[in-house]
Every structure is written in structure tokens, then in C-alpha cells.
Amino acid sequence: MDHGTQAVDEAAARLAGVLGVSPLQRSARLSARVGGEVWLKREDLQPVRSYKGRGAYNLIAQLTTGQRTSGVVCASAGNHGQGVAFACHALDVRGRVYVPRTTPRQKRDRIAEIGGDDVEVRVVGDTYDEAASAALADSASTGAVLVPAFDDLRTIAGQGTVVREVVDQLGRLPDLLVVPVGGGGLLAGTVSWLAGRGTTVVGVEPAGAACMAAALAAGEPVDLEALDGFVDGAAVRRAGAVTFPLVRDSGASLVAVAEGRVCTEMLELYQADGIIAEPAGALAAAALGDVVHPAPGTTTVCVLSGGNNDVSRYAEVVERALVHEGRKHYFLVDFPQEPGALRRFLDEVLGPDDDITLFEYVKRSNRETGPALVGIELGRPEDLAGLLLRLEAAPPQITPVPADSPLFRFLL
């Protein structure tokens, strides 16, 4: 038996009776989209609302008595911290979880609730890297065992139990397995167990945080110069030193999905399927029909990796989805400072299904014109050509705000 397969099988034995088997559900919507069978592995329904409890428990369960006495420590943007908290509470091990200030309070509260008296949440710095440095320093000074989110063979084996369950539930190997990728723990565990079995594996990264693709291109893990943190569960600056060679040698493919497409899929999961997915949880499904095209009639499984989404983020999710779909656009309009200017703009420029969703106007009494920032939502993406023609013919000077401008990033 291959060592990776054996490690995953042993992890599954440790998890038996500790974590329930998450459902494998057929998605009629996604099946229709690709012309084949699509199933969702619902890791969002785990006790910690993600697969992270698997790896954390598998690692901590293997610690010696002395190591357990010293306790554990980790850094997390949210999900891994909940997994560690779950394991600590289940195994009666003391733990400290370091999170940056940017971690939503909902996730902080969940870590504290799951861990109970066994876990202390410490908020340090403004970025994950700062929290990680604090956790590393804690481990060095106290002797507490550092529990990596992905870069440890024990964590990787625990995450690999997801695909093992998939095959048991499906009763056969899927033709295609699509998994989200951050630091690579879930993908590494998946390919370790599936090695040589014939299933095609595709890892999906956020376009603004494709660290594993960067590592493969460079031949080793490298730091991303820029990082879009929107898909927070997969926004990792550097792929793991342990996960990288496993992914590199597996033959798995990597693709990237735009953050706006992820938002569109989050809304479709919610509105059509009644599933609350976090951005990373929607990554795999977002790739289907966009950058991943299963062969007609084949069976595909997508891992829906997590559902720890803060409801306050949905306004941004809707905004990003509309922009991605080509239905939301912004313009700087230099209006004449005279009565009726706005009314003429509405009558002459807007189409019958268009709507103004943002209007920020600053009147300047010492000038003949005054600037306004105008957001327009179209009824259909194809209505843009007509809108641009009407804008060009309108009297005010009108400048589109491109998606790569600092002003546009401020709006989002």
C-alpha cells in the first residue's frame, strides 16, 4: 500500500465516531450546466463548517502525552482555528489560536465557542502573516506544538479523508474531482489517496491568490507579490513546502477563477440550492463551465469546502457578482450646475431597464460644472453598448471608471 494512501486510511480510523461523514449531494443545477453528473461534497455541514477539523484532529490525536501537556498553538484566518478548537476540546488539550484583527468577529466567536475552556483566542496584528509570526514565537518560547493549517503530513492525511469518503459514498471513483486550493493541504491529501486510481484531479485557486500555480511555475514555493484577500479561506501568499512536491508530482491540473465569478456562484448556491457557502467553499463549483469543462456524461465531484460566511459580506458579494457579469458600471460625470441637468441625464442616457445605484455629487459654486460619481446597473450585460453610445452623445463630460483603477477598488 502506498504510504500516502495508508496515512489517509489511518486518519480516517482516528476520525471515525469523532467527525460525522458529510453528505454527498447531487446538484441538478450544476449537472445541467455541464451535461453530466455533478455531486457536491458538503464539508460546510461539518461541526466546524469546513473540512479543517479533519487535519487538525488527526495531527493533535497523534501527539505524545508530553506534547499534549505542553499544549498547541496555531495561526488562522478563521476556519483552521475552528478546527484546532474542535480538536482541543475533543482531546482535552489546551490551545491558543492567533488571528489577525481582520478576522470577522463571527469566526472569532465561533473559535471561542467551539473550544470552550480549552482554547484561548488571541488577536494579533492586521494580517495573517503577523498572526503566524506570533504563533511561531509562542511555540518557540513555551514549547507548545505548532499546528500548521496545511503544511504538515498529518494535516494533509486528515484532509485526504474527504476524498476517501467521496468514493465510499459514490460507490465508485468519480471521473473528475475538483477541489479548492489555498496552501495545498486538501489538494495534497486528495492526490495522495487517489494516486494511480485514474480519477482526474483539478485544483482551483482564486485568481488573486494563485500561490500553488506560482510555485509550479517557479519550481519551488514563492511569495506572491500581490494578494487579493477576498477569498479568505484560500488567500495564501506562499504554497506549502510539504504540500508543493506532492501536488507537483501528482499530475493534478491547476486553474484560477476570478473573484467575481466566485461571488456569482455563491449567490447561485444560495438562491437556487439554499446553500450558504463562503468564498473558498464556492471555488470548485465556480470553476465548472467557466474554466473546467467535464466531458459530457461523466461524473464530477466538487468539494464545497466551507460555509463560514459572514452575512455582512453579502452586499460586497452582490456588488462583485454584478461587476463580473457586466451589469454594474461606474462613471465620473461632470454635470452642468444648472436646474434640470440630472433630469436630462436620466431621460437621455438611461435605458428602460437601467437603474442608478450610486450617485455621489459635490456641488462647487465657483465652477460651471460639478463632478458626480454615478453607478449604473444594467438589466442585461448586452445593454452596455447602447448605454455607452448614449453616454458619448450626452452633453456632460463622462469618464468610465475602469475596474483596475484605485477608485474602483475603493468602491468594492
pLDDT per position as a tens digit, 352-378: 899 999 988 876 655 677 888 899 999
Q: Where are the domains of the chain?
A: 3-50+160-319, 52-146, 326-411
Q: What is the pLDDT of residues 88-135, one digit of tens each?
A: 999 999 999 999 887 878 889 999 999 999 999 999 988 777 888 999
Full-model pTM: 0.91
Packing angle between helix 52-60 and helix 153-170, nearest 10 degrees? Answer: 130
> pLDDT tens for residues 54-92?
999 999 999 999 999 999 999 998 899 999 999 999 999
CA atoms within 13 A on the CB side of 70: 18
Q: Which of 14-23, 208-217, 307-316, 381-390 has the lowest mean pLDDT?
A: 307-316
Query: Which range has the top average pLDDT, 285-289, 361-365, 401-405?
Result: 285-289
Q: How deeply is 91 buried, as exposed, middle or buried, from its count of CB atoms within 10 A (0-12, 13-18, 19+)? A: middle
CB-CB contact of 234 with 52 (8 Å): no
CA distance 399 to 411: 16
Catalytic residues: 52, 305
- Rounded to whole angstroms, the Cα distance separating 294 from 32 reads 12
pLDDT category at 412 given cuts 50, 70, 90 is low
What is the number of other CB atoms lying within 10 angstroms of the CB of residue 383?
A: 17
For the chain, percent of residues with pLDDT exceeding 70: 97
Predicted local confidence at residue 363, as pLDDT: 64
pLDDT at 115: 97
Residue 7 pLDDT: 97
CATH number assigned to the domain with residue range 52-146, chosen from the 4 options 3.40.50.20, 3.20.20.80, 3.40.50.150, 3.40.50.1100: 3.40.50.1100
Q: What is the pLDDT of residues 310-363, one digit of tens each?
A: 888 888 999 999 999 999 999 988 888 778 888 888 888 888 899 999 988 876
The CATH number given to 3-50+160-319 is 3.40.50.1100
What span, in angstroms and rounded, lies between the C-alpha atoms of 125 and 98? 9
Residues shown for the chain: 412
Decide if 3-50+160-319 and 52-146 have a common fold.
yes
Q: What is the side-by-side strand order in the sheet with 355-361?
A: 355-361, 369-377, 328-336, 397-400
Architecture in CATH for domain 326-411: 2-Layer Sandwich (3.30)
Specify the pairing of strand 72-75 against strand 145-146. parallel
> How far apart are alpha carbons 364 and 85 in whole angstroms?
56
